Chains A and B, each alone.
Chain A
Amino acid sequence: MTSGSTPAIVVEGLVKRFGDTTALAGVDLVVPEGSVLGLLGPNGAGKTTVVRVLATLLQPDGGRAEVVGLDVVREAAQVRAAIGLTGQYAAVDEYLTGYENLEMVGRLYRLGKRESRSRAAELLERFDLADAASRPAKTYSGGMRRRLDIAASLIARPRVLFLDEPTTGLDPRSRLGMWEFIADLADGGTTILLTTQYLEEADRLADSMVVIDRGRVIARGTGDELKAQVGGQRLELTVGREPDVMVVLDRLRPLAAGEAQVDDQTRRVSIPVSGGTDALAEALRRLEGSGVEVLDVGLRRPDLDDVFLTLTGRGTDEAGEPGAEHAAGREPATTSGGAR
């Protein structure tokens, strides 16, 4: 954490239950003003619930949360004036044009007619939507809708911005574009709380990260700190024939700093190693003359899956059943989600 600056978000012992399900079991986090926090976790971990409490959409059952020094329950109305929220699904009105959407949100933020209009035009330009400004949002692609949604949450220049899985469901090109927009915003001094399932995304955008699982914080720190916690790097090899897998495991066993993982379908072996490129060179030397057909080999830094495996003994896939987030943070009526 950067010292000396006032925190924009303070969360202490936050608890939220939905019936018998405990979505948040005492979450603590602090986000310094002007920084970006990545809130990581698999589906159903409680990321969305944290955001919804902070955005005043849900009332917590225990603990407290402050945004720009205001209590999210007692001073909810003032909190709303200081924040911008972009949910997992682009909340734009399909029948309104991009421009009309932004103008409407500006008016509802009480910016006044002129300011709403000039901000709308400015943001459409900035988010590459100027050409589509007078088309109904119905005609927009997924990436365009997402950009319009973020533009809407920025119209009143919020001090704190919540982005709930801003790139989920976007194609790789739109995802890269979105990363650039978010990085620009962060450079502009906006405090951002970003939820994501991808360590790569948090690593690229966030100053610090908090990993949650089943409503609890299981790790926190910078990307490098987290990876150090997970330990070293991964040596990954893809081999041409199935029997090669056993040979590789056998010959490289002395190098392994932990348990190796094998993906049978792709014939990929992943072995935790320490020693960086030396380990890579050593591995290749050991495979010499073995007849193994190596299709691909490389060193990789640990990703969220590795973090999870190390911290919880489970991969992200097993961490929560699909749709658990629905059961926890949302209503069952919308389980068809995901596709939108």
Chain B
Amino acid sequence: MTSEEQINIVIDDKRVQTRSGAVALEAAIEAGIYVPYLCYHPGMKPFAACRLCLVQEEVEVEVEQDGETVRQRQLRPATASCTLPVREGMVLRTATDNVRELQHGVMEMLISEHPHGCLTCHRVDLCGPTDICQRHVSVNDRCVTCPKNERCELKESVRFLGMDLNSPLSYKTRGLDLEVADPFYDLDYNLCIVCGRCVRVCDEVRGDSAITFVERAGRSLVGTSRGTSLLQSGCEFCGACIDVCPVGALVEREHKWDKAVRVERTVCSQCPVGCQLNLEVNKREKVIRAVPEIQAPANHGQACFRGKFGMEYVNHRDRLKRPLIRRDGELQETTWDEALGYIAERLREYKGEQFAAVASARSTNEAAYLLQKFTRTVMETNSVDMDSNGRPGLTRALSDTLGYAASTNSIWELEKAGCVLVVDANVTEEQNVVAVPVKKAVRAGTAKLIVIDAREVELTHYAHIWLRPRPDTTLHLLGGMLRYILDEALAEPGFIEERCEGLDELRTSLEVFDLDAVSRITGVEAERVREAATMFATTGPASILYALDNVPQEQQPMNVYAMTNLALVTGNVGRPSTGLYALHRGTNQQGALDVGCVPDLLPGYQQMDESPGQHAIQAVWGQRAPRTPGLGIRDALTAAQEGTIKSMLLLGDSIDYSSGELGDGYAALQKLEFLVVHDAFLGAAAQLADVVLPAATFAEEDGTYTNLERRVQLLKRVITARNSEAKPAWWLLSSLAHLMNAPGFEYSSPAEVFDEIAQVTPIYAGISHGRLVREAVVTLRPDPGNPQPTQMLYSDRVSQGIQWPCPDADGPATPMLYESGFPDDKANLMPLEAPAATQLTTDENPLLFVPGRVLAQWDREVEVIRTDGMNHIQREELLELHPQDAAALDLSQGDAVEVSGKGWHVSAAAYITEAAHPGVVSMTTLFGELAARLETSEDPDPMSKISGLRVCPVRVKKIAL
């Protein structure tokens, strides 16, 4: 299956071109020939359990006839097409009498344990839930009362096969209770047909194996291996099992009974992966479900708990509907005209250095571009930034070494990587779908995984090597690995020679990183560092994922240099399945950076000095940007605190200003003279504002997002909120500029805004909304003559997005950077500087607290308690600490302790272990707790409030039990 070659086969007299390694069913689906199936699902290994997808192969045989040998065409016995590999010249029949007869038999057995009174009735499309049924089918057993009605693949298959009343009406009732106690899911195994899709997707695709088959033979069903709740079994609530379930057994609890009237595809706004989701909309214009798109390039049909269950905020009744203006200290409803007029008038006073603007992490490229253009041309300052930009070094440092400030390769290349190094990143929670190909490759045994993280996070459980340094010493570890690789000649001299410069300086700078010193500082055994370095250097191709969660901001660029060096010296740049992935948190952070929504760069990473690009921008804008760099979000907040910035315009408020990463943001906002907030909710920042404008969410606007693999993807307006005047940011900014008499803001649609972006941003030059729509993968929908099987319900044209740089309108995109060279000819190997020891702790809080969160801890039991019909995890958390610290605190094993940091405290049992670093305490909680909390949260947008796992100073004291 490694080398794919074209193969020609014939299915039902139709010539079909397919590839070697494909199975007959795939070939048929690709050719638009419908073969009923229930257990097959694209992206998973065939299972051959349902036995519906039967076909017959036609072969030519020699037979004796009247003493002569003649060649005759014969049909071979029917076989399952999902496990039948294609061969050149194969001839298949999908609809012979024999096949149909067998399929009927198979289906009769399948529905013998599934309510089928309606399935086999000719009135199935006519009856309602309350009709009197002449066949006495109980209301509970009717298709029309099933949450999956009309999305049910079993029903479609029965329709296709034309099952009739011959089947007996009674079926084997399992009599199981509905399982509703776990978050997000409603499970009704009475409807299960045991096709195994959910078990397989959880195991094969997601790598979690939270569910499995239980019992044997006729009693086989799906469940958790020890019969526990999903919270305990290591479920990450990604919803993949629901998405593949062909019947009503697994469904989303929220909007369970709602029927969709249409399905629209857009890009998820929860994180920078850029998953394409099919959002189902009901007749009241509510988003009722999110189903990830199988053909989408960034997510391959996968989503996560945020994307799958985090869309409810779009429908929330607390959404702002009309602009609010502060009168007599109270926010009062007003009209857009009045609000905009007032803002235009007031903002005139603050032109120049008194103003700053901040885009939201969820702002589209168009909104971010217009915000920086507005700030630069109308407000005449460069102080524009995005609120998620807490770690500017993460991507920006890449441009110093490689050329572009962006991740180098595509997400799903990770599936083929030989080694993946993950540095201080909680991937499974923050950028969940990026972890999917990594877990898949590790479980398939094709990739080695090295995790460098002080915290215990999900990927550490999958790691072949988990290096657990002191939280602030990641750079030493990376430096140590780098030096070992160079010293032991594990590097690729050819690649360095040809494509890099600065090796000598790098070598010199590495002198301080000898393994003994590194081991002493980081607390990681030298042998382990050697092992990791060897594995990384020798198991190619190797990729690096990093978020640098545990690294102080000022050290982040140096860490990025270290990792770039690692990739460069081992030749892991510019090749498939290699490279660096900067895992930032903002949904459209890459795009906002690309379009210049930062204080020191113009669109397309152009400097503010007299460069040709600057002139081009000036030509388009009719005006030039101020020359001096402005203030980023941190500095702007500081300046606001100090009073030099007097007015701000905030798009969105999804950032948590109280997290500590940005200081005390709310206090700073309070000091402003004039604050405008454009938000979907009356959040904490909006409550401080002078004017609050209702914002359209991602589901209500057109535009583009650029994901973390540089893929520009189209957002599509999915709903039009009723009785609401919420507007998208591009409209707000155009109108505002118009009112302030600024030229150059006459746009009639985001597509026009994007065209301007393409004009001034060379890397986007070849991209347009039109091209994004045009360049789509066409997946076949069955023709009108065929019944419409649910399997293809969502299939049509799926835009694949375009990965920049794409300078020409008809030129190619760039899935992989630096394949043919670096922009500056050669990549820079940056010399490393060992950071000065940073004081992360304070006198008041002398210990470093390292939080962790995993799906399950195998060696620890969990108790689940039922309250209000819901499962909740209850267990005593353990605080790991070193014997030294324990002695200082007079603690012995198992003592109750209280950990308190800034504004929070939590109690736990002391677990004293030599494995902990002195001065560092750590605690690992379970993801299930978080899931249960998200489910029951009253917050309109709980998914955006998930606290990251930040290392912070704490104090620990013993408490009485």
Chain B binds chain A: no
Chain A residues near B (Cβ < 8 Å) = none
